[in-house]
Amino acid sequence: MKISIIGTGYVGLVTGTCFADTGINVTCVDINDDKIKKLKQGIIPIYEPGLDQMVLKNVEKERLHFTTSLKESLEHTEAIFIAVGTPPDEDGSADLSHVLEVARQIGRNMNHHLVIVTKSTVPIGTAQKVKAAVQDELQKRGVEIDFDVASNPEFLKEGNAVEDFLKPDRIVVGVESEKAEKIMSRLYKPFVLNGHPIIFMDVPSAEMTKYAANAMLATKISFMNDIANLCEIVGADVTNVRRGIGSDSRIGNKFIYAGAGYGGSCFPKDVKAIIKTAQLNNYNLRILEAVENVNDDQKKVIIRKIKEQFPEVKGLTFAMWGLSFKPQTDDMREAPSVVIANALIELGAKVKAYDPVAMEEAKHTLGDTIEYGKDQYDVLIDADALILITEWPEFRVPNYKVMDKLMNNKVVFDGRNIYDPEEMKEFGYKYYSIGRQVVKQ
Ligand code: NAD
């Protein structure tokens, strides 16, 4: 069996590699020439645990190929997955220009039946737009070629993407024909041997499922951040509240950690896009509007705490541990670290940051507005405070003796609640966290 994946980013590369690992012949296509050149040389453009060995293995077995030519990839292909970006447009709706450009290219070049699958996160009705774009190109060519469209949203998490793809909780596929269902079943059979289902449904419901899933997860986070802010005011501890409610099986203990706000390439843009879809249909998703507002404010909570501690921020130096929007990824899209660093710089402070993998990526966003350290202790030299923003495992048990020697002040702002207030007290640190009381020196 042979398939093509268009767009070789976080989703496309993982999808293509995992399919290739089951014995399928996969061609990954990208318009980014540099990316394809690097992949051909065995250089993986993103940080994703386990992905590099898997790519190399499948390239060596000649099951995984890379090209910039969509046309070339179509030969003998049965299914083509569109996995290009759908960034937010100026008004918050998903920008479909990349998806529809790929659809038109498919129409211009296809010569046999294909299942055209949207894997990108796309608003309801996009598969129909893809269908129309392909049809239009076929008509221009004066040819009639049968094809199917399908929607197969992706639920992988960056940082655990390979594992998530190989062992998914479920696979959602929207189809319009038995033929498409059969091909998608064959493709995904190896991934559901663990008993988790492939859920077939109509195409609009599949498209909506992805947005509803991300919107629900974002809601849990913003809900908990809102509760955390109230905990601070009334003298409660949100980590105790989390344990108290998370043990209720109706609520569950995932995605209820208070912090410095959600970021990343998906939640912010998907929440915006579904709100926009609702507005276009004369409906207001009031809960999600609040989710977004709470999150925007939450990214600034650390700044509020910093101002509380230091009435004059100008001239101070802040060490920042972590830059990526979450651990185990180098993805900097919508990372709270950027909002915090920019705010500090605007206030006249200096920021010295360290991240185990995201510093190169961070330079594209923050450039030389901040300094980058060679390790987590290097950035503490003469720092007036430490801000923990991404909970990488190596930050969890800090060496207080080394910290004491390097820092000007014993002040820590913990944006992820990873430190124990008792321990901070024991070591003499003034400790600010989220949804808990300030620990005084
Ligand atoms: P990405 O930006 O990492 O990758 C997109 C790739 O598509 C880029 O390499 C780009 O060069 C390429 N591209 C753009 N136009 C192209 C064209 N015309 N032909 C060929 N290649 C083209 O994006 P991503 O994070 O992989 O996300 C892709 C889609 O999957 C988005 O819709 C996103 O919302 C969705 N998604 C992402 C995640 C995630 O964790 N990143 C998870 C689930 C779903």
Domain count, the chain: 3
- For residue 270, give the ligand 1 atom closest to its CA: 34
DSSP 125-191: THHHHHHHHHHHHHHHHT----EEEEE------TTSHHHHHHS-S-EEEE-SSHHHHHHHHHHHGGG
Mutate to test the pocket of ligand 1, among 4, 6, 8, 11 (most ligand atoms within 8 A of CB): 11
Residue 22 in 3-state DSSP?
coil
Residue 441 has pLDDT above 90, yes or no: no
Looking at the fold, whether 262 and 332 belong to one and the same domain comes out as no
Residue 27 has pLDDT above 90, yes or no: yes
- 6 falls within a domain: yes
DSSP-assigned beta bridge partners for residue 6:
29, 82
Distance 126 CA to ligand 1 centre (A): 16
Residue 57 has pLDDT above 90, yes or no: yes
Residue 362 has pLDDT above 90, yes or no: yes
Provide the residue range defining the domain that includes 147: 2-201
**Domain of residue 20, CATH code:** 3.40.50.720
Per-residue pLDDT reduced to its tens digit, 249-264: 999 999 999 999 999 9
Looking at the fold, whether 290 and 375 belong to one and the same domain comes out as no
CA distances from 291 to 155, 267, 383, 429 (A): 20, 11, 34, 33
Confidence of residue 194 (pLDDT cuts 50, 70, 90): confident
Handedness of CA 105, 107, 112, 114 (dihedral sign): positive
- 440 falls within a domain: no
Looking at the fold, whether 177 and 37 belong to one and the same domain comes out as yes
Distance 48 CA to ligand 1 centre (A): 15
Distance 87 CA to ligand 1 centre (A): 9
Q: Is 28 a catalytic residue?
A: no
- 322 falls within a domain: yes
Q: Which is nearest to 338 in space by CA: 411, 414, 272, 261?
A: 261
Distance 146 CA to ligand 1 centre (A): 27
Q: Which is nearest to 202 in space by CA: 128, 280, 273?
A: 128
Residue 261 CB neighbour total at 10 angstroms: 27
Residues with CB under 6 A from ligand 1: 6-12, 29-32, 35, 83-86, 98, 101-102, 120-121, 154, 156, 158, 265-266
pTM of the entire predicted model: 0.95
Residue 178 CB neighbour total at 10 angstroms: 9
Mutate to test the pocket of ligand 1, among 14, 28, 30, 89 (most ligand atoms within 8 A of CB): 30
Looking at the fold, whether 247 and 260 belong to one and the same domain comes out as yes
Looking at the fold, whether 237 and 306 belong to one and the same domain comes out as no
The CA distance from 66 to 77, in Å, is: 14
Looking at the fold, whether 12 and 159 belong to one and the same domain comes out as yes
Amino acid identity at 311: P
